[in-house]
Every structure is written in structure tokens, then in C-alpha cells.
């Protein structure tokens, strides 16, 4: 009896301790299985497909770093669709770049897919009037430029939305 009581006290104290890692009680299968479809572009410019591909890669990298969802294309529970709606200089101010991306997240766990998020995300940046919009995306100087920072900010926001809404939907269904 004493051993059982000691075990219960130890177990109770460990579960309330901030030192007890939550990962101990979870398995990889608990993480949502998500397919991220390559971003499409609503309009065609010489570099719109490249821009969409770069955004897709950036979002995937951010989600993989956080490791809270599993990228799965065979039996996904959720599907993410993104569309580049706008990536151009403002007609009123040529030194302002405006970016709009449409994000849609579908819950595929039931027979009929259900939209859990449909949102337009926007960002803008001041760029040099003559700065080309089709520069080397992997260049370190690009990443530190106003355009590069605007791209990073928008891809971070997209990744955060994807993760938050999928984890919220997964949590809501398991409770």
C-alpha cells in the first residue's frame, strides 16, 4: 500500500512539474498529418511561378523547424492550399510592393472535407523604384533587404496560421 501511495505521489508531482516534458506523454502519431500543396499563382508574370515556389518552400521550412505537424501526402488529415494573388508594385506608389496570398485549410478527417480557414494575408514593403522583383532569393543580401524581410514576415505569418488552425482543429476533435 505504501509503495502504491508513493508511486501516486511521485506521478502526481511529476505531472504538475514544469520539468516533466510533455513529449513524454505524446507520440508522433498524435501530430496532425498535413499535406501542403505547392502555392499557385493567380496571375502570370515572368517570375510569379518562382515567387510562389519560394513562398511554398519558406512556409514548409518554417513548419518543419517547429515540428508540431507531420507533412504527409498519402493519408493526410488536413490539406493546405495557397494562392499568390498579388505580388506587384503599387500603381499609386512604385516604391511600395504589395503582396496578397489566399490561404485555405481543409479538414479531411470526415467523408466531406470541411474548410476550417479561408483567409487573405497581406504584406507590403517599401522597395527601391528600380529594384528588380526577380532577384536571387537565396542571396544573403536579399534576405536582409526590405523585400526579403517582407517575404520572411509573410511566410512566417502563413506558417503560424497553418499550424495554429490545424492544431486547434485537432485539439477540438480529440477532447
Confirm if 111 and 131 have CB atoms less than 8 A apart: no
Predicted pLDDT of residue 136: 66
Q: Does residue 160 fall inside a structural domain?
A: yes
* Cell reading at 151: 517575404
* Cell reading at 2: 505504501
Predicted pLDDT of residue 164: 96
Burial of 47 (0-12, 13-18, 19+ CB in 10 A): middle
Confirm if 157 and 165 have CB atoms less than 8 A apart: no
- DSSP calls for 27-93: -GGGSPEEEEPPPEESS--TTHHHHHHHHHHHHHHHHHHHTSSEE-SSS-SEEEEEEEEEEEE-SS-
Q: Cα angle vertex 44, ends 43, 49, to 5°?
A: 100
Is pLDDT of 133 > 80?
no
What is the rounded distance in angstroms from the CA atom of residue 49 to the CA atom of residue 39?
9
List the domain range (segments joined by +) for residue 151.
Answer: 28-174
CATH of the domain at 107: 3.40.50.10610
Predicted pLDDT of residue 174: 67
pLDDT grade, residue 6 (50/70/90)? very low
What is the rounded distance in angstroms from the CA atom of residue 172 to the CA atom of residue 6?
35
Nearest to 31 by CA among 69, 58, 60: 69
Predicted pLDDT of residue 148: 84
Q: Does residue 116 fall inside a structural domain?
A: yes
Is pLDDT of 32 > 80?
yes
- Mean pLDDT, all residues of the chain: 82
Phi, psi for 19 (deg, rounded to 5): -80, -20
Q: How many residues does the chain have?
A: 175
Q: Does residue 10 fall inside a structural domain?
A: no
Predicted pLDDT of residue 175: 54
Q: Does residue 14 fall inside a structural domain?
A: no
Q: Does residue 72 fall inside a structural domain?
A: yes
Predicted pLDDT of residue 111: 94
Predicted pLDDT of residue 18: 39
Q: Does residue 138 fall inside a structural domain?
A: yes
Number of folded domains that form the chain: 1
Is pLDDT of 1 > 90?
no
Nearest to 163 by CA among 56, 36, 51, 74: 36
What is the percent of the chain with per-residue pLDDT over 70, rounded to a whole number? 78
More confident: 44 or 26:
44
Average pLDDT over every residue of 32-60:
91
Amino acid at each position: 500500500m505504501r509503495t502504491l501511495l508513493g508511486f501516486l505521489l511521485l506521478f502526481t508531482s511529476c505531472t504538475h512539474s514544469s520539468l516533466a516534458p510533455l513529449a513524454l506523454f505524446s507520440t508522433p502519431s498524435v501530430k496532425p498529418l498535413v499535406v501542403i500543396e505547392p502555392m499557385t499563382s493567380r496571375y502570370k508574370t515572368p517570375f510569379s511561378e518562382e515567387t510562389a515556389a519560394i513562398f511554398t518552400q519558406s512556409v514548409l521550412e518554417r513548419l518543419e523547424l517547429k515540428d508540431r505537424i507531420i507533412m504527409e501526402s498519402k493519408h493526410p488529415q488536413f490539406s493546405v492550399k495557397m494562392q499568390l494573388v498579388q505580388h506587384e508594385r503599387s500603381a499609386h506608389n512604385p516604391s511600395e510592393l504589395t503582396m496578397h496570398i489566399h490561404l485555405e485549410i481543409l479538414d479531411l478527417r470526415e467523408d466531406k472535407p470541411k474548410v476550417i480557414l479561408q483567409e487573405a494575408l497581406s504584406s507590403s514593403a517599401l522597395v527601391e523604384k528600380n529594384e528588380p522583383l526577380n532577384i536571387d532569393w537565396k542571396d544573403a543580401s536579399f534576405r536582409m533587404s526590405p523585400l526579403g524581410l517582407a517575404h520572411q514576415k509573410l511566410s512566417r505569418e502563413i506558417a503560424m496560421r497553418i499550424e495554429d488552425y490545424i492544431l486547434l482543429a485537432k485539439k477540438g476533435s480529440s477532447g
